[in-house]
Amino acid sequence: MTTCRTANAAAVVRLLLLCSFCAAAAIACDPPNGAKFGYTGSVGPDHWGALSPSFRQCATGTKQSPIDISTAQAVSNPALQPLHRDYTVANATLVDNVVNVALRFDGDGGAGSVSVGGKLYTLKQVHWHSPSEHTVDGRRFPVELHMVHASDDGNVTVVAMLYRFGRPDPLLWQIQDKLAALHAEGCRADKGAPVAAGDVSLWSLRLYSHTYYRYVGSFTTPPCTENVIWSVLAQVREMTVDQAAALMAPLEQAYRR
């Protein structure tokens, strides 16, 4: 039986202060958009809207992400269908985005697609956040994966997956050596230090697509652009502690939360 739910935006509170365990300086490298931001102090999420004119929506937006998903407030929506996701083996490049580590897929075809509301969105990249940005009933998870898709007309939809510690994650197992190589490159994402990951299979990411929480929000980092369609999968996945550490290792201390 398919169960698809819509997160009630009126019943969830935006997490302005993301969990932060960094005692070091809040700034290290310039993120790709050219303006500096962090997760603590004067450059933390409470202040993003004032750091740059292009970040203004972080403070003034009305549909900001991430959110806390209240399962008691989520409304079952029979009109929503299971996510039809068709992912393939694709040539990928591992990139240190300064604020996170991402796999970007080469070529116009991306790495497959997802259909949302009758529109086809191509998978452009996946990236990880630790700890998770979305919470469920106030609970934060060790890691969150974002699968970023774009349509031909420029709209964006993101499929998010939450992770607990446990068994190895098949996707990360494929790129573990490449993550170590990216760590060796240091903080040089905007100076050009990608690592070729070769062909990567995304088959494991197609699983558990029947139950999810749907809402319209924004990018979770500046410029906080809105009207992003989010699908947060209800099934929590697993990765090892070592895999999570490998994802964070290439990042500057300011972005290890």
CA distance linking residue 67 with residue 70, whole number of Å: 9
CA–CA separation, 89 and 104 (whole Å):
13
Kindly state the average pLDDT of the residues 166-173.
Answer: 97
pLDDT per residue over 22-59, tens digit each? 222 222 344 555 578 888 889 899 999 999 999 999 99
Indicate if the pLDDT at residue 138 is higher than 80: yes
State the DSSP string of 63-92.
Answer: S-S-BEE-TTT-EE-TTPPPPEEEE-EEEE
**Ranges of each domain in the chain:** 4-75+82-255
Burial 35-65 (b: 16+ CB within 10 A, else e): bbbbbbeebbbebbbebbeebbbbbebebbb
Q: Which CATH number fits domain 4-75+82-255: 3.30.1490.190, 3.10.200.10, 3.40.50.150, 3.30.43.10?
A: 3.10.200.10
Return the H-helix or E-strand segment holding 241. helix 241-248
Query: How crowded is the C-beta side of 55, counted as CA atoms within 13 Å?
Result: 20
User: How much of the chain exceeds pLDDT 90, in percent?
Assistant: 63
Supply the pTM of this predicted model.
0.84
Give the model's pLDDT for residue 31: 53
d(CA 245, CA 240): 9
